[in-house]
Amino acid sequence: MTLSVVGLFAVLLIVYLIISVGRRDSKLPPGSWTKETVLNAYADHLGPPTLPIIGNLFAEWAKEYGEIFSLKLGPATSIVLTSPRLVKQLVDKKSSIYSHRPDSYVGYDIISQGDHLLLMQYSDQWRTCRKLVHQFFMESMVLKTHLAVVDAEAVQLVRDLIVQPQDHMAHPKRFSNMYGSRTPDINTTHMKKLYALMEIWSKVMEPGNAPPVDVFPFLKYLPEKLFGNWRSRAQNVSKEMNSLYDEWLNRVVDRRSTLGSRNCFLDRVLDQEDSGKLSLNRHAVYFLCGTLMEGGSDTTSSIIVAFIHAMTKWPSVMKKAQAEIDAVIGEDRSPTWEDYAQLPYVAACVKETMRWRPVVPLGFAHLVSEDDTIDGMTIPKGSQIFVNAFGMQHDSQRFPDPDTFNPDRYAGVTQLASELANGDWEKRDHYGYGSGRRLCPGIHLAERSLFLAFAKILWALNIGPGVDSANEVIKPDVSNETAYSSGFLVCAEKYPCRITPRSQTRKETIVREFDKATREVFVEFSNVKV
């Protein structure tokens, strides 16, 4: 096929896509994603609208078309839910038909070969993997086994922010409990590899970075250079991801042969494999662990970075939280999980950060496996279901002035997110952990990790806006459109700030607690050189 013919074909395809957008069955939820809407969105953003811009667009359309609306792209139907009531009625209560994933040729077929837990279809393998994760991260296990490590890592986070405040974007990106090894500092090789991988993985999965091959499969057979060499970029991500996760598995297998099993997730999986209780191939095992590394490291760190970002803009919040902490805890120790009940405003800061800057504004799309109806409207089998977290969490009816960081929104809310996610839809705090059977299995660990990180940071440190070369204060930019990334995982772009210890005594306390953690907690980890 000549380039001229290919070019003509591509033009005709684009014309077809534009004129086919908006065709809908009269029983579908309302929507008006017409060709004018598409062209305007492209014009406004000089290209395909990306995240978090798509989150903004969906939030605006929800105001016009209501809490449920539909989009049509050729034969594909997408349903966007911007209503806690509908999320509860559909995704939660009918989870048996709303727990599937849409086809993802790029993420599922090319990159992960079907073994990425986030993209995996609702299947026996998915249920096996979820069971393994649940066994390791259920609440009782977190309290019994993981809490000491989480507290120690939070202490090191604060210590690192004191020693190297200029690296505030990097320090939250560490972990300890997947492979029986830990990340002692931000320059550790495996940490650098992971976050380089996460960056290219997020970009290649971003809407608009590949042609809609899941809707129009014939696009797979067009020359990829017409669409930015999308296949080669996806194959490169697959190569890097498989190489890194396989390498980590090899290191743990080697460590087990010399030092035995450790109390980490991969060891437990391999122990079950050795005893014949589990049957997953090597690729599935290392991808399961790698997926948990991605979710546990990137999402948690992004929330911590967003919180520090917010403190540069709203110092009154920081001062109020510090006053609450100081009324309970002196300078001779930092906060622990046992202080949770006495620090409701700090807990509210966690909830407000999750609401204010969701890491996944639209969640990961679900797919409905059977025809369904809601409020007299049809949801066809095979429809993609988007839980519009950004739209719900920025609904001005429930959250007045939603772009303002205000933890007082959660005054009197003492339950953890795990309890609220399974309770009354009118009381749910946010959708940062997903919904239904796809609810984040690490929710119990994440809630405690975030609380301890926030509490210790506020107890030990003052945070303010950065200054320029003339020592003039730089006005913080916290806009979700200009100050946050546009990948399918959203994080703050690098921003300036000042971080200083609140007192010399608090600094010395953190150093003492870090030394104790090194002797009593970190020493338990065999430091596998990855």
Question: Rounded to 5 degrees, what are φ and ψ at 386?
Answer: -105, 125
State residue 45's pLDDT score. 44
Helix (H, G, I), strand (E, B) or coil at 498: strand
State the number of CA atoms in the 13 A half-sphere of 370 facing the CB: 9
Q: Which helix (H) or strand (E) covers residue 315, if one does?
A: helix 315-326
Q: Considering just the CA atoms, what is the radius of gyration of the chain in Å?
A: 24
Question: Rounded distance, CA 498 to CA 484, Å?
Answer: 19
Strand order in the sheet with 384-387: 68-73, 76-81, 384-387, 366-367
Q: Which residues pair with 79 in a beta bridge?
A: 70, 385
- DSSP code of 296? I
Inter-residue contact 298 to 184 (CB < 8 Å): no
Inter-residue contact 283 to 113 (CB < 8 Å): yes
Question: Rounded distance, CA 471 to CA 451, Å?
Answer: 33
Inter-residue contact 322 to 340 (CB < 8 Å): no
Q: What is 245-279 written as a DSSP string?
A: HHHHHHHHHHHHHHH---SSHHHHHHHHHHTTS--
State residue 98's pLDDT score. 97
Identity of the residue numbered 184: P
User: Which token pair is 206?
Assistant: 């971003």
Q: Number of helices and strands (H, E) in the chain?
A: 19, 8
Q: How far is residue 399 CA from its own chain's centroid?
A: 22
Q: Which helix (H) or strand (E) covers residue 193, if one does?
A: helix 189-204
Q: What is the pTM of this model?
A: 0.90
Question: Rounded distance, CA 106 to CA 213, Å?
Answer: 9
User: Which token pair is 67?
Assistant: 């809490």
Inter-residue contact 135 to 141 (CB < 8 Å): yes
Place of tokens 């926030």: 454
- DSSP code of 47? S
Annotated binding site: 440
Q: Where are the beta strands (DSSP E) in 425-514?
A: 461-465, 497-501
Place of tokens 């109806």: 373
Annotated binding site for heme: 440
Task: Please state, in angstroms and as integers, the Cα–Cα distance from residue 516 to each residue in 155, 520, 521, following that order.
Answer: 10, 6, 8
State the number of CA atoms in the 13 A half-sphere of 238 facing the CB: 18
Inter-residue contact 261 to 271 (CB < 8 Å): yes
Q: What is the pLDDT along the chain (530 residues), one digit of tens a residue?
A: 444 444 445 555 555 554 455 556 778 999 865 544 554 554 444 444 454 556 667 878 888 889 999 988 778 899 999 999 999 999 999 999 999 999 999 999 999 999 999 999 999 999 999 999 999 999 999 999 999 999 999 999 999 999 999 999 988 877 555 566 677 877 788 788 888 888 888 888 887 788 989 988 999 999 999 999 999 999 999 999 999 999 989 989 998 898 888 878 999 999 998 888 888 999 999 999 998 888 777 789 999 999 999 999 999 999 999 999 999 999 999 999 999 999 999 999 999 999 999 998 988 899 999 999 999 999 999 999 999 999 999 999 999 999 999 999 999 999 999 999 999 999 999 999 999 999 999 999 999 999 999 999 999 999 999 999 999 999 999 998 899 987 677 899 999 999 999 999 999 999 999 999 999 998 877 554 54
Q: Where are the beta strands (DSSP E) in 251-375?
A: 366-367, 372-374
Task: Please state, in angstroms and as integers, the Cα–Cα distance from residue 158 to each residue in 99, 166, 279, following that order.
Answer: 39, 13, 41
State residue 370's pLDDT score. 97
Q: Is the peptide bond before 52 cis (omega within 30 degrees of 0)?
A: yes
State residue 292's pLDDT score. 87
Reduced 3-state DSSP string for 63-89:
HHHCCEEEEEECCEEEEEECCHHHHHH
State residue 494's pLDDT score. 95
State residue 56's pLDDT score. 67
**Nearest to residue 305, comparing CAs of 448, 484, 487, 50?**
484
State residue 278's pLDDT score. 87
CATH fold, domain 24-525, is: Cytochrome p450 (1.10.630)
**Nearest to residue 346, comparing CAs of 357, 335, 359, 360?**
335
Find all residues with CB under 8 Å of 119, minimum gap 6, and list them: 101, 104, 107, 108, 112, 364
User: Which token pair is 471?
Assistant: 């020592």
